[in-house]
Amino acid sequence: MSLLPPTGSLIPVDAPFSQAQESWLAGFIAGIAAAGKRASGGAPTTTIDVLFGTQTGNAEFLADELVAGAKARGLGGRATALDAVTPEQLAGMSHVLVVTSTYGEGEMPDNAGLFWDAIQATTVPRLEGLHYAVLGLGDTSYDEFCQAGKLLDTRFEQLGATRIHDRVDCDVDYEDPAALWTAAVLDRLAAEAGVQPGATTAVAATGATTAAGGAGASRASRPGAQWNKRNPYPSMLVENRLLSSPRSAKEIRHYEFDLGDSGIEYSAGDALAVVPVNDEVFVGELLEQVGANGSETLDGRPVTEVLRTDREIRTPSKDLIADLVQRAPSSELAAVVSHGDKHELDRWLWGRDVLDLLRDAGPAAPGLDELLPNLRPLQARQYSISSSPLAHPDRIHLTIASVRYGDPHRMYAGVASTFLADRVAPDGTVDVYLQPNASFGVPADPSAPMIMVGPGTGIAPFRGFLHERAVSGATGRNWLFFGDQHRDTDFVYEDELTELQEQGVLDRLDLAFSRDQAEKVYVQTRMLEQAPELYSWLEDGGHLYVCGDASRMAKDVEQALLAVIGSQRGKGEDDAQAYLADMRRGKRYVRDVY
């Protein structure tokens, strides 16, 4: 059975959620409302089941907004995580909207994997009575762009469900194509609902999303909700201090942003999006490479300003790579691409930036006019918040590793991390906006044990969690697994953690400094060493959280967790997997990985 997705609608839309996305919700709900009215001859009785798959909270937030919009139109609506729905429950639903992100290279997000496994079974019920639509959230810089949404869309169709509207695959650059798509979809759905064509579109274009059908009403009512990607808040950076030792191989810094009169209210576990500005020295090097002198303009703006504030000039885009291969077929890049091996290309690209690729192309490299269309828009960088609003209601703290590497001939630097570290003056302002993550927070039950695994900067949200539990007076036990390379140079927040232990807030602290001994020791090593105690905490209702690197650490931690469960239960691998699946469904195993 083929699971290749049909052609979807590629409409760039970004999170946090744009007018185009909210208009999509309004149009979708309008179509459902019209169908309910036609079927009943009176008030609609349709209930929309909004099923979401999320990694960082975007899809869940969008699902909540859709439910609010449905209720504003007199429809029933409920939002449910995909993993909380069985195939049998799915078969009993009438109208379903799936909103899902894609994790990593085409994988289902954490709270959708179990659902995906279940609906692939040969015994899964047919879905002939179900009407559905799929919205995918993704990033075209990844090869498997919006793959989770594509797979779910195809599988629903294979099981006999009726597609209400073509799938939409959302990228990070959305404004112009989203406006075109919004007009077309809303005009058609408004006509089906008996609304004058164009009315809903006109309202949406003004940003009055509540009038467009209720979608976005709850978001608009939140304190500080006016600050978003299109309108970031200029926050004063009031603290920038080095956490790691100057002798460390890493540079980890603590930042504090003043919320001032923004009205922004955050929760422990949320993320903060930082809008960076590119290094003007690197901008100059790039202009010199393409034969420009900096006096050029683009749409009436100095090109130097455009490159500093609007374009990704470090990470090469797919379009740029394809263009350079065509222009310089004898280049080293073209030779690597010709092998057709994605992993080989990734290895070759690692550590190289746009300037490197232009130099590799030699005389065939594009000029400024040809280069600009192949540079992606500069995106905000999201960082896990490392504070609690109970302890710091007027500030947001971040814990960030500055990215620097290279040699005396060529040094490289992370766009946002070195912007904050080097280029923001004391008490200077940084454009920021909140990225809520409803899926990642302290247990709702203050007596529940909390186990946190966060090596390196993965400690960030757990510092906020511990502050939250301390101020709230939560009685649940707290256990932190933390580590890095060397204790004497990389033990960030050591004084704070020691104080939390002395106060009785942090009950256990297991440390893993990998390079302080001949045999490397990691946080997963400590988990295995403490298997009986760790399993006891899980059996007592413990919530286990993981934050940090997704490519290796998070996978190794999950394997260690399965080994702990398996060794203590003694019922085999399938039983351990089922135990962990139950933890996922109960939101007792949650990850914030990147």
* Residue carrying structure tokens 């504003």: 72
Flag whether pLDDT at 177 surpasses 70: no
Enumerate long-range contacts of 63-67, CB under 8 Å, 24 or more apart.
63/97, 63/99, 64/218, 64/438, 65/17, 65/22, 65/25, 65/215, 65/216, 65/218, 65/219, 66/25, 66/28, 66/29, 66/97, 66/99, 66/215
Residue listed under structure tokens 């994988």: 107
Instruction: Please give the Cα distance from 135 to 79 (Å, whole number).
Output: 14
**Integer CA distances (angstroms), 496 to 152, 353, 396, 487, in order:** 45, 38, 17, 15
Task: Supply φ then ψ for residue 172, to 5 degrees.
Answer: -90, -15
pLDDT value at residue 475: 97
Looking at residues 590-594, what average pLDDT do you find?
91
The whole-angstrom separation of Cα 571 and Cα 565 is 9
What type of residue sits at position 177?
P
Percent with pLDDT over 90 in the chain: 68
Higher confidence at residue 51 or residue 34?
51
Token pair of 453 as six digits? 């695994």
Structure tokens at 259: 């919320």
Q: Does pLDDT of 202 surpass 50?
A: no
Out of 68-72, 444-448, 479-483, 536-540, which region has the weakest mean confidence (pLDDT)? Answer: 68-72
**Per-residue pLDDT averaged across 272-292, rounded?**
97
> Residue 194 pLDDT > 70, yes or no?
no
pLDDT computed for residue 26 by the predictor: 52
- Residue 6 in tokens: 């049909």
pLDDT of 63 reads: 77
Q: Are 560 and 524 in contact (CB under 8 A)?
A: yes
Instruction: Please report which confidence band the pLDDT of residue 56 belongs to, taking 50, 70 and 90 as the band edges.
Output: confident
Omega prior to 16 cis, within 30 of 0: yes
Say which residue the tokens 């400094």 belong to: 513
DSSP result, 79-95: EEEGGG--HHHHHT-SE
Digit-coded pLDDT (tens) for 132-174: 888 888 888 888 889 999 999 999 999 999 888 888 888 765 3
**What is the distance between the alpha carbons of residues 133 and 66, in angstroms, rounded to a whole number?**
13
DSSP E strands, 423-542: 429-435, 450-453, 478-484, 508-513
Average pLDDT over residues 254-266: 97
Question: At 566, is the secondary structure helix, strand, or coil?
Answer: helix
| Higher-pLDDT residue of 57, 28 | 57
Angle, alpha carbons 330-332-337 (nearest 5°) = 90
Query: Residue range 237-255: average pLDDT?
Result: 97
CB 337 within 8 A of CB 321: yes
Which residues lie below 8 Å from residue 416, measured CB to CB, with a gap of 6+? 274, 276, 381, 400
**Taking 60 as the threshold, does the pLDDT of residue 23 lie above it?**
no
pLDDT greater at residue 310 or residue 11: 310
Q: Are the C-beta atoms of residues 287 and 371 closer than 8 Å to each other?
A: no
Residues ≥6 apart with Cβ < 8 Å to 476: 443, 445, 446, 447, 448, 449, 450, 469
Which ranges of 84-215 would DSSP assign to H, the alpha helix? 87-91, 113-119, 147-158, 175-192, 199-205
Cα 560 to chain centroid, rounded: 25
Lowest-pLDDT range of 97-111, 272-286, 499-513: 97-111
For the chain, how far is it from start to end, CA to CA, in angstroms?
32
Cα separation, 31 vs 48, whole angstroms? 12
Stretch 496-501: mean pLDDT, rounded? 98
Residue among 133, 96, 94, 100 nearest 116 (CA): 100
| 11 or 291, which is more confident | 291
Give the chain's mean pLDDT: 85
pTM as predicted? 0.84
Q: Which of 85, 86, 87, 66 is nearest to 76 (CA)?
A: 66
Task: Check residue 212 and report its DSSP letter.
Answer: T
What's the CA gap between 346 and 136, in Å, rounded? 25
Give Dmax over CA atoms of the chain in angstroms. Answer: 76
Residue 43's pLDDT band, with cuts at 50, 70 and 90, is very low
* Phi-psi category of residue 260: left, alpha or beta, with phi > 0 → left and psi -120 to 50 → alpha: left
36: confidence class by pLDDT, cuts 50, 70, 90 = very low
Q: Averaged over 440-469, what is the pLDDT?
A: 98
How much is the pLDDT for 408? 84
Higher pLDDT, 10 or 78: 78
Q: Are the C-beta atoms of residues 80 and 47 closer than 8 Å to each other?
A: no
Per-residue pLDDT at 418 exceeds 90: yes
70: confidence class by pLDDT, cuts 50, 70, 90: low
Residue 25: which pLDDT band, with cuts at 50, 70 and 90? low
Asked if 96 contacts 53 with a C-beta cutoff of 8 angstroms, the reply is no
pLDDT on residue 13:
38
Which range (61-75, 186-200, 413-427, 524-538) has the least confidence? 186-200
Question: What is the model's pLDDT at position 186?
Answer: 33
Per DSSP, 389 falls in state T
* Better-scored residue on pLDDT, 112 or 214: 112
CB atoms within 10 A of CB 343: 7
Query: Using CA atoms, how far apart are residues 573 and 580, in angstroms rounded to an integer?
Result: 11
Q: Contact 89/127 with Cβ under 8 angstroms?
A: no
Sorted by sequence, the CB contacts under 8 Å of residue 246 that are 6+ apart come out as none
CB of 360 closer than 8 Å to CB of 331: yes
Give the DSSP letter string of 483-506: EES-HHHH-TTHHHHHHHHHTTS-
- Whether residue 578 is predicted with pLDDT greater than 80 in this model: the reply is yes
Mean pLDDT, to the nearest integer, of 400-427? 95
Q: How confident is the model at residue 99 (pLDDT cuts 50, 70, 90)?
A: confident
Residue 524 has pLDDT above 80, yes or no: yes
Q: What is the mean pLDDT of residues 34-38?
A: 46
Angle between helices 354-361 and 280-289 (to 10 degrees): 10
Over its C-alpha atoms, the chain yields an Rg (Å, rounded) of 25
pLDDT digits (tens, 9 = 90+) for 347-389: 999 999 999 999 999 999 999 999 999 999 999 999 999 999 9
> What angle is formed at CA 397 by the lines to CA 392 and CA 401, rounded to 5 degrees?
160
Q: Which amino acid is at 574?
A: D
